[in-house]
Amino acid sequence: MRRFAIAPSFLDPVDWISAGAVGDPGQRTFYLQARQGGEYLAVIVEKEHVAALARSARELLAGAGEVLTAEDLLGGDLNLEPVQPEWRAGALRMGADRRGRRFLLEIEPLGADAEPMRWTMGPGELKLLAVDAAYAVEGDRTRCARCGRRLDLDSVHVCRARR
């Protein structure tokens, strides 16, 4: 996959987006990734950023009349590896157009040596981001040996590998 030499200010629109974490619980690094065609970008974020992003994405979707379904939740925990971040984020902002059909994620760098990133997406991509962000902040969970998704001991696991 080709990477930008200098991070662009826009991916408009993304055709894939994800939030995730790598590493062991308590020592994980959280990140956001996006792709537009063959272009790939990733940034390091804090766990709190990802948790707030999951909440904001669900609120924006609800405001647009979109509801996350049980089927949507089966699509989470996606990422591209290896994660190759451009820089560390300082602040995230999300918004929507008046009709709630186009969403914007703005990512400000921590420090002044990089331009902010702005990624636009439709409701489908925002749903994936909301689901991935929720999975990323769940914490220490055992993973299913068949599909690799985290197992939550308080609920029933629906294995993607058995579909």
Tell how far CA 20 is from the center of its chain: 6
**Burial (0-12, 13-18, 19+ Cβ within 10 Å), 38:** exposed
Query: What are the pLDDT digits (tens) for 77-114?
Result: 556 677 888 899 999 999 998 888 899 999 999 986 88
The lowest-confidence range among 19-28, 68-77, 119-128 is: 68-77
DSSP string across 68-95: --HHHHTT-S---SS---S-BEEEEEEE
Give the position of tokens 């820089």.
87
Query: What are the pLDDT digits (tens) for 17-58?
Result: 999 888 887 888 999 999 998 888 999 999 999 999 999 999
CB atoms within 10 A of CB 118: 15
Question: For residue 116, what is the DSSP state?
Answer: P
